[in-house]
Structure 1
């Protein structure tokens, strides 16, 4: 499959060099090249490329603004930021705006090409150096007391749309089908959810036994994925409930935590079989995304202060 790529960089030499490099490879078709964020956004709306490769600092609309605009208007287009800036504010801003990858311009051409393919396939990419700075993982240093190498890990927080799912009546199903059949059914369930989350640009954080915890950069894609999950598991005779919330979460090794995760879990607990419920935050962030909602009123979420407004996602 040929990946259709839009390039945006205000330095003509780098932009044309990148165009030439990709044009010489059979996996890519460069559909257009822009010199500003505003031009990139207009071309993305017109051409709807598979991947937009954006510089961060450009005149007339920077890469972060263009990323947010493209993600809102053309959600199927994946974003790879290619920049010479590696600070946490630049990287964090790009990822919060919805970028699926962040690579430094010093990367080898083969690494850039592979990153575009990886992003196009639905996964995320970060330069090793950028990833280390962003997650707070420092290079190993010598412990002055023991003389051995040690690694310092600092907490990292980021904004994401958190999705929780849960199989309805899982205990009853397990009892009536037996351990072997239930295990096979769970394997099918897990494979289907993994496929759909990846298809909509999300990342599985963990399987929870009879559900998943996943995160998405774009709330609209998270909601669309949630609707798709119901259809996928219906084919194997299961019903699930799904809840979503967008907020700041904390990275905890390979897991995540924080109040945003707790809210998403409590939203899911309010859902009926076959329902997708979202917090008001998710609904507000997806305004204009052609997603229908039905308010169900304000509810108390267990363990959380104050009442919160929840909305039911309507079928497409």
Structure 2
């Protein structure tokens, strides 16, 4: 940051000259932070196919959700691909988040997987469960434990970023993990047993694109380009998943077979559905946000329900031409 301020100070004397010569100075590309969750792949496909030009936006890869959340909090990224519970966390910490796009609803892609000898959720009492504590993991495991009358206090929560789930599970460092594709498929192949999935709490595990209110006001045109490009990438991901994996390579987050399996376990809403979800009139994500916030208060993830009325912004999906 100091280097950037130094360079800006060096450029300032040249600014009047540039303006006098009729030159327009463009802002830096939007920095969008995301982990390798396959539900975010349409955004990366927009970049890979040229629908989203690099001078408009770049997608920065992070190994786990907690790092994306931290980067957004610290201003290291302008936008972030996050889960809806993480948006509530940001709102509770006065980060002024605005949801401008719904990527997906997880319908079984997020899971609790235990070692093979653990056959039931109540068998997790006193066991070590690896989760990304600041991300979806803590929320999902708490909702799973509720089914059998257990609380987070009755298990041993092990903070564990998703890029370490497989190794920790294989080595016996943890007895179970809250994870998602493609790690899900690999752990099941290793003999893991799925005890709970997001399909059992439909509509609660939602991935969204988040910006700050200030960024939305200042970079609206560029963000509109991002949203437009996303829907082009979505069409490619759904119609040609093998081609999507070829274009993205390791950034697909999975091999072709696992990528297709992951897409089958989530719902990627189209532009029309996005408009309804973000409308904020007591339906769609408005009700889901309220329910999530209340649950997070009960779980002591946040102290109180933050103001939620301005979080959902349908303007950009309303501007998508189909």
* Greater fraction of residues in helix: 2
User: Same fold by TM (over 0.5)?
Assistant: no
TM-score w.r.t. the length of structure 1 is 0.28
